A = this chain, B = another copy of it.
Amino acid sequence: MKIFNFSAGPSMIPHKVMDKAQKEFLNYNGMGIGVSELSHRTIEFSDIIDKTENNIRKLMNIPTEYSISYIPGGASLQFYMIPANFLINWWGCEYIHTGYWSEKAIVEAQKCCYVRVSSSSRDANFRRIPNLRKWKNNPDSSYVHITTNNTIEGTQYHSYPEMEYGVPLVADMSSDIMTKVTDIKQFDMVYASTQKVLGPTGLALVIMKKKLTERSYNKNLPTMLDYNTYIHEKSMHNTPPTFSVYMLMLVTDWLLEQGGIETMDKINMLKSEVIYEKIDASGGYYKNLVEAPHRSRVNIVFRLPTKDLSELFIHQAEEEGLLGLRGHRSVEGIRASMYNAMPLEGVERLVDFMDKFERTHG
């Protein structure tokens, strides 16, 4: 039975990538040792890190004024590094609050300074992204932070706020980076933990305008928490998570082979349409509460009429090889995460299962 893993992260990795990594696990590049055993100071690893950067630049069309870094600790450590590195005063950093993960980012920033939550969709139970068309950032903000896709709530920005007064826009893109065409020039910094879209856990990918750190008022940061360390030493100040970088190389190789982000964008749109159509056609048996214009294309959350039915759904889906459909432990219900690695075939299998389940238990 073919297995499809709908887990939110760590999540499915393209089969071709896993296959290649397995084949060369004991013998990379004919060296007789695996990447896991390879010193980061070798030419071979240097090639891996360079190739990964080139792939990312190509895929996301990233100009040279942006640096690309690999930082351990996932997005959670970034929640702290961002204020620690980017504050220009102690009162003005600004967050748009859209759910569980944006709140985590806010709490961490509050350890550094006063945080303005200048827009929030809490009143709407986070079932939408706030309306930002008339919103304006403050002129003295150190930066504005958004969470482009809300993995738990199943919401996603489909357009981004425009910044004024030269205030930098910082985005947590952990769950939708490289899943749709995005203009990097709309952002001053973008970051993403790797275990959702980009491969296995172990890193945050950080893309930022190199001169962003120049404004910082904090000049005595710990070495490992200072973006300059990663920029100036090409993420090799200490031993980086080498296997994770290698996997990121393979995943970005694969993305380029598939036709890049444009192709992914189209497939991901199609995949999400298939599921949302099924939900909307179920007459309320499957219920997604997100306001339609803000629905996420990569994390689709829905509920069944009762909690027992949800449990049965998860259980029976698993028996049919559809794994990882349980919603986040902070909410009830179902979540289908389908990043780039999930093929249309997997989504069709899920829809067929939803059909059958509704007929049997509806």
Contact = CB atoms under 8 A, between A and B. Distances in A.
Contact of A201 (B75, B242, B321): B242
Interface stretch (A13-21, A136-144, A286-294, A346-354): A13-21
B111 A239 contact: no
Interface residues on A, range: 35 or more
Interface in A21-46: 21-22, 25-26, 31-34, 36-41
Nearest to A341: B37
A240 B13 contact: no
A3 B223 contact: no
A5 interface: yes
A341 to B, nearest CB: 9
B200 A36 contact: yes
A340 interface: no
Contacts of A33: 3, 5, 12, 323
Contact of A224 (B2, B77, B221): B77
A80 B36 contact: no
A25 B21 contact: yes
Nearest to A194: B239
A122 B220 CA distance: 26
Contact of A39 (B1, B31, B108, B324): B324
